[in-house]
Amino acid sequence: MDIVRRTGMSYSTIANIWRSRHRYQDAERIGHWMKRLRKPVYDDLDQAMHEWFQEECKQGIRITGEQITTQAKVLAAKLGITDFKGSPGWLFRWRNRQKNRTFRNQGESSSTISEFVVSYMKHLHA
């Protein structure tokens, strides 16, 4: 009862927090601090996507949101998930769960920059 007086919260709120403490401890342990501690609808798809994403990043491949969504649809079909949509909301939540960033390839501009650097370096050494 002392904690109720110190925090100003109701007894039922304190009891709910105490009953759910393992969820908060798990979230802290794995680094998930979101407003809601929500698990993915398709946990196996989420795990497969995580593995795919990690492998692509190790190879230095730049990945856009569109590529993530396309790969998720392919993996969902392989896993027999028929009602997966790959919506922008799904992509947003997946990125938040994975704590990854999108890497956008800017088309030909990225190759133009590298070509410029190479030609400039040749000019310096000449």
Whether residue 101 is found in the same domain as residue 51: yes
Whether residue 6 is found in the same domain as residue 66: no
Whether residue 57 is found in the same domain as residue 96: yes
Q: Could you give the number of structural domains in the chain? A: 2
Whether residue 69 is found in the same domain as residue 79: yes
Q: What is the pLDDT of residue 107?
A: 46
81 burial (CB, 10 Å; 0-12 / 13-18 / 19+) is middle
Query: Token digits for 64?
Result: 């856009």
Whether residue 10 is found in the same domain as residue 63: no
Instruction: Give residue-wise pLDDT tens across range 17-72.
Output: 788 777 766 665 555 555 555 678 888 999 899 899 988 888 888 888 999 999 99
Is residue 105 within 8 Å of 63, Cβ to Cβ?
Answer: no
Average pLDDT, the chain: 75
Structural domain containing residue 1: 1-38
